[in-house]
Chains A and B, each alone.
Chain A
Amino acid sequence: MEGMSVRLISGRTTVQGRNLDSKLTDEYFEEVAVCKMNGNDMEKSGVAPDEHVKVTTPYGAVVVKAEKDDGNPEGLIFIPMGPWANAVVSGNTHGSGMPSFKGIDATIEKTGEPVLRVKELMHTYMG
């Protein structure tokens, strides 16, 4: 994998929750198709806020918008729970029934590729 090594977690946000019943809206897209990173990590990978990053894990790759959040420690990226995060998490539950939504080793690199909208993202599963 190319790019900077980080660890990925996903979780809830208020705006994400507010759009639980409206996931096809722009507000949901703006809030959830993002990757929150510590400012130092952004500098190291040469990404400015609102530019796109490609997040790659052993399970897949997804392009999202970068956002600065110094509340994250360095080396930890946060993608709100939802379709973009789930494109790169593991389906392996290790016999527990629970997939690996947090603590995934990932690499991030700046990219010019577009961020897929929800419907387009779903269509990537349709072979």
Chain B
Amino acid sequence: MAEITDVVCSLCGCVCDDIVVEVEDNKVTKVKRGACSVGKSKLLGHERIKTPMLRENGELKEVSYDEAIKKAAEILYKSRRPLLYGWSSTVCEADRVGVELAEDLGGVVDNTASVCHGPSVLAIQDVGLPSCTLGEIKNRADLIIYWGANPAAAHANHMKRYSYVSKGFWTAEGKKNKKLVVVDVRQTMTSKMADVFLQIEQGKDYQIFSALRAILRGHGDVVPDNVGGIAKEQLLEVADMVKEAKFGITFFGMGVTHTGARHNNIVNAIQFTRAAHLFGKWSIMPMRGHYNVTGFNQVCCWQTGFPFSVDLTRGYPWYNPGETSSTDLLARGDCDSALIIASDPGAHFPGAALRHLAKIPVIQIDPFANPTTEFADVIIPSTISGIESPGGVYRMDNIPLRLRKILDTDYYIPDEEIVERIMEEVRALRAKEGE
């Protein structure tokens, strides 16, 4: 039995890195501390895809890695506009090869931000983002707002490690000298902890940000008695809390990115942060979902100049979310094959997109079977990043960490190697055709 410390979690955007596990006979037998129930579940292991498979006449056939990789390469090589999607639950080393493959093929490369914090990126491209690393909040924040986010469910260690419950340099007493404000459309485990819970009407986030901005900038007189289901008195109360805070932070989630005005909600949230900044130090941060969704955006951005939804079919990068985003591409029927890696569009894309995914050849690279597997014609199981293979990832606050390898595997292959080998096969096919 061996104890391994400083294990880095490969599940959500918190990327907790102080996990301690016990390993015996090449299995994680115990998660001693540091992981939430969701991270713990990943470390203890799930059933996984046993071998590469090809779907022939509706039936799955077991094949070798070589055969599956060759078939994948053939599909992608013949394709006129392949979509290479996912990337958020694997490491940067794989993401880097993935962008290269998309460039080589002339395809569209996109990640799960497309259905998650893509609107946040669009907002940043409008107005920028006043932000900080998570340790700043741990050490300084006395007013924490969770807006359209439910960390108790989606980022279970967040408050304990980084915000409301955590203890830091100027926050040695934890919750005691802090205030928590939660804004959501329904009660959640997070809202139950709040000092102030604004239960707003669904879709009214934009108006409420506007109202708060108006109050903070001294134009409270234009705000009506009720905005989005919240009484003006309550808005004035929250504005006072904002004005009194020495260091405030707004964390926001899908409640804001998925709703109505999309990126305009976030522009407004950022402008609210700027207004608050007139009184104290204020920052704002998106609650990135997966452990390396941020990492793909970083890699894609430094390699192509654009963070996601990059169309490389012309041989140069073309970025136009709404046109080049995965769900739009699929809903228009505008791609003729898909490589799905480290993600699950089967579960997380709207039906309109799945109808087309069902028609085109699909290659899936993932350790685990999921709804997407039903669409896959080629299935290639990979190592579990952070457990069986190491690699670089970026936390929700853009801090880079390195996942460790804590178990061995003598069969499964890491994502980056699979993608690399597919690329080699594609290049071999091209050379053979004398192009």
Contacts and interface: CB of A to CB of B under 8 A. Distances in A.
Contacts of B12: 17
B393 to A, nearest CB: 16
Interface in B322-348: 322-325, 327-328, 330-331, 344, 346-348
Contacts of B349: 86, 91, 99
Contacts, number: 179
A21 interface: yes
A21 to B, nearest CB: 4
A122 B371 contact: yes
Interface string A60-73: 10000000011111
Contacts of A76: 185-186, 202
B352 A14 contact: no
A21 B42 contact: yes
A88 B351 CA distance: 7
A23 B347 contact: yes
B351 A102 contact: no
B321 interface: yes
Interface stretch (A5-13, A45-53, A107-115): A5-13
A101 B258 contact: yes
B210 to A, nearest CB: 18
Contacts of A97: 114, 118-119, 122, 309, 321-322, 324-325, 327-328
A59 B349 CA distance: 13
B350 interface: yes
B49 to A, nearest CB: 11
Nearest to A38: B186
B352 A96 contact: no
B37 interface: yes
Contacts of A16: 153
Task: Say whether chain A's binding surface is mostly helix, strand, loop, or mixed.
Answer: loop
B167 to A, nearest CB: 24
A127 B255 contact: no
A59 B351 CA distance: 8
Contacts of B150: 11-12
A76 to B, nearest CB: 6
A118 interface: yes
A25 to B, nearest CB: 8
A39 interface: no
A21 B258 contact: no
Interface of B: 11-12, 37-38, 41-42, 46-47, 114-115, 118-119, 122, 150, 152-154, 156, 185-189, 191, 199, 202-203, 254-255, 257-260, 262-263, 289, 309, 321-325, 327-328, 330-331, 344, 346-355, 357-359, 367-371, 374-375
11 contacts: A12-B289, A21-B367, A23-B344, A60-B351, A82-B348, A86-B350, A92-B331, A92-B352, A93-B328, A99-B349, A102-B255
Interface of A: 7, 9, 11-14, 16-24, 59-60, 69-73, 76, 78, 81-83, 86-103, 118-119, 121-123, 125-127
